[in-house]
């Protein structure tokens, strides 16, 4: 019982990180109907930006942990937002009217470019960092096995759910959200009605990249090690989470992330860790067979 509870806590924490990355995927897909396959590498860049900022603030003698974390988060999210804006301008906007595979190939090229840029500039070795938010609370002790909930795990859940609430409000209650929903329904008609669709799409990429940087920041603090390849692995898992939850749905992205995180952690705990990814993708296949639009996805209406 205690062991299962600990794995549940670990799975929810990992799933929240996947879900936050998946929100970026689902936002971009909801607007232009395309997958930003460079999004996972923006998450990786956000992790490295966070590491660079933390080391830089330590070198400047800033010892206040809350201040250092706040400045790091602002720095990483801001620079990552510029990466998102650049990806949209370079890899998507010039090819928006081309055949559908062209932006996909361009995004994959951007992904490879970001991976190699970080590998060359930061090195291929794993970058470790000491725990900045140590400690936690002990929930129970059963047979000498202590179930612990760390402060970092609590922070990840609270931040992810807060961001989900904020962006649900943004999409449903604000003028920007109305323009995003209009572009999602019919991009050409939204343009004819006077909506600046290029600006709306750019803002969607910027917001998605900033969220990926927040996920990268939390990943660095939680696991304490990063390398240039984490973007590919996390990106595939987050894309799977977005599809599983129903791509185009913000709550679905977080729900899919939770399911992928729980499947991965419980499979690793009770079965072979080498096959945890196989288990996650097998569950995705089974769900899509019976629910082709995902758990919370909506069936697309063909425009004629």
- In tens, the pLDDT along 202-220 reads 998 999 999 999 999 999 9
How many residues does the structure list for the chain?
A: 304
Q: Residue 299 burial by CB count (10 A; 0-12/13-18/19+): exposed, middle or buried? A: exposed
Can you tell me the distance from the alpha carbon of 12 to that of 236, in angstroms, rounded to the nearest whole number? Answer: 18
And the tokens for 121?
Answer: 């500039």
Nearest to 163 by CA among 99, 226, 208, 132: 208
Nearest to 80 by CA among 112, 121, 50, 108: 50
* pLDDT the model gives residue 169: 87
CA 123 from centroid of its chain's CA atoms: 23
Q: DSSP E strands: which ranges in 60-169? A: 127-128, 136-142, 145-150
Q: What share of the chain is helix, strand, coil (3-state, %, to 5)?
A: 75, 5, 20
* pLDDT the model gives residue 101: 78
* pLDDT the model gives residue 304: 46
Q: Report the interhelical angle of 230-245 vs 197-223 (nearest 10°).
A: 120
Can you tell me the distance from the alpha carbon of 130 to that of 22, in angstroms, rounded to the nearest whole number? Answer: 27
Residue ranges per domain, the chain? Answer: 2-290
Can you tell me the distance from the alpha carbon of 53 to that of 45, in angstroms, rounded to the nearest whole number? Answer: 12
Please provide the distance, in angstroms rounded to a whole number, between the alpha carbons at the two ends of the chain: 55
Q: Are 226 and 220 in contact (CB under 8 A)?
A: yes
Tens of pLDDT, residues 264-283: 999 888 888 888 888 878 88
| Residue stretches of the chain with pLDDT short of 50 | 303-304
* pLDDT the model gives residue 270: 87
Q: Are 152 and 142 in contact (CB under 8 A)?
A: no
């Amino acid at each position: 019982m205690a062991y299962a509870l600990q794995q549940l806590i670990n799975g929810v924490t990992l799933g929240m990180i996947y879900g936050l990355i998946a929100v970026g995927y689902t936002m971009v897909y909801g607007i232009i109907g395309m997958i930003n396959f460079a999004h996972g590498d923006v998450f990786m860049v956000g992790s490295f930006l966070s590491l660079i900022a933390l080391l830089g603030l330590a070198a400047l003698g800033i010892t206040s942990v809350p201040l250092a974390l706040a400045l790091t988060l602002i720095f990483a999210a801001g620079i990552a937002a510029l990466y998102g804006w650049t990806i949209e301008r370079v890899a998507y906007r010039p090819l928006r009217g081309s055949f559908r595979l062209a932006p996909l190939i361009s995004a994959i090229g951007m992904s490879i470019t970001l991976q190699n840029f970080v590998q060359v500039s930061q090195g291929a070795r794993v970058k470790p960092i000491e725990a900045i938010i140590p400690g936690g609370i002990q929930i129970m002790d059963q047979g000498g096995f202590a179930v612990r909930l760390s402060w970092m795990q609590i922070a990840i859940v609270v931040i992810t759910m807060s961001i989900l609430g904020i962006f649900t409000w943004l999409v449903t209650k604000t003028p920007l959200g109305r323009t995003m929903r209009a572009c999602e329904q019919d991009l050409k008609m939204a343009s004819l009605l006077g909506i600046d669709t290029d600006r709306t799409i750019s803002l969607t990429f910027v917001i998605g990249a900033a969220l990926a940087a927040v996920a990268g920041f939390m990943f660095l603090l939680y696991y304490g090690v990063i390398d240039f390849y984490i973007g590919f692995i996390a990106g595939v898992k987050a894309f799977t989470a977005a599809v599983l939850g129903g791509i185009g749905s913000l709550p679905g992205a977080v729900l899919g992330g939770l399911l992928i995180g729980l499947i991965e952690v419980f499979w690793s705990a009770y079965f072979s860790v080498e096959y945890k990814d196989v288990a996650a993708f097998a569950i995705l296949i089974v769900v899509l067979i019976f629910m082709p639009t995902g758990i919370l996805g909506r069936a697309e209406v063909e425009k004629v």
